[in-house]
């Protein structure tokens, strides 16, 4: 009886899988951002208050795919870039995933408890960790060349402006959706070339 080892899958299969995961994350992130922009017209309660409107539940629930899309996007992009983003890419993934884990737990708790409690500075700190993670990952990705450099500037700015701590209520999530869609349109062409 001989032990046979299956041959390793070619790199193209790895890249196809990474590209598929990347595109899925980008489309989920774009859809979440558009939905967040639409919630600007729905009544919600004030921060750190009990839920009184259906919009409170929708806004909290939308936070989950928003943060998970970014937390899955960075490792997928890292695989697509053949890990050429270096230590900054790893640091970006760690910071983003820690922030995403904390925020997801907060959102799930908020839905169960019907409360928008941010647990003191926890929401702001976790959001800042995600912001820092996206910026670090973009800096690390600069030399990899998989993502156009203009997008490596626009995407972190759009995430900071339109992500979890939006500076401009209505248009800012749409800027994030546009950055995600621009990445989704440019990455397949770059991955095949």
pLDDT tens readout for residues 91-133: 999 999 999 999 999 999 988 988 877 777 898 899 999 999 9
SS3 at position 50: strand
The CA distance from 57 to 63, in Å, is: 10
Closest CA to 64 of 25, 40, 32, 93: 32
More confident residue, 31 or 2: 31
With a cut of 70, say whether residue 166 has pLDDT above it.
no
With a cut of 70, say whether residue 7 has pLDDT above it.
no
Percent of the chain with pLDDT over 70: 88
DSSP category for residue 6: P
DSSP category for residue 82: T
The CA distance from 97 to 132, in Å, is: 11
SS3 at position 57: helix
Q: What pLDDT, on the 0 to 100 scale, is given for residue 55?
A: 81
Would residue 71 be called left, alpha or beta, if left means φ above 0 and alpha means ψ between -120 and 50 degrees? alpha
Q: What pLDDT, on the 0 to 100 scale, is given for residue 155?
A: 94
Average pLDDT over residues 18-35: 95
Average pLDDT over residues 16-44: 90
Average pLDDT over residues 48-77: 88
Model pTM?
A: 0.86
How many CB atoms are closer than 10 A to CB 26?
25
Question: Distance from first CA to last CA of the chain, Å, rounded?
Answer: 44
3-state helix, strand, coil in the chain (%, to 5): 75, 0, 25
Q: What pLDDT, on the 0 to 100 scale, is given for residue 115?
A: 83
Closest CA to 81 of 24, 141, 138, 25: 141
Most confident residue range from 5-19, 61-75, 118-132: 61-75
């Amino acid at each position: 009886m001989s032990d046979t080892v299956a041959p390793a899958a070619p790199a193209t299969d790895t890249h196809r899988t990474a590209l598929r995961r990347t595109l899925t994350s980008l489309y989920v992130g774009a859809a979440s951002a558009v939905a967040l922009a639409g919630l600007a017209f729905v009544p919600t309660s004030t921060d750190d208050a009990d839920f009184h409107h259906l919009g409170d539940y929708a806004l909290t629930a939308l936070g989950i795919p928003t943060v998970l899309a970014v937390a899955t996007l960075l490792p997928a992009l890292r695989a697509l870039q053949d890990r050429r983003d270096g230590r900054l890419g790893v640091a970006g993934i760690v910071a983003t995933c820690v922030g995403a884990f904390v925020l997801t737990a907060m959102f799930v708790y908020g839905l169960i408890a019907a409360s928008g409690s941010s647990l003191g500075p926890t929401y702001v700190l976790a959001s800042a960790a995600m912001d820092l993670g996206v910026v670090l990952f973009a800096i690390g990705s600069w030399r990899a060349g998989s993502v156009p450099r203009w997008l490596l500037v626009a995407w972190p700015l759009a995430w900071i402006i339109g992500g979890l701590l939006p500076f401009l209520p209505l248009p800012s999530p749409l800027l994030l959706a546009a950055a995600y869609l621009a990445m989704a349109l440019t990455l397949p062409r770059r991955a095949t070339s």
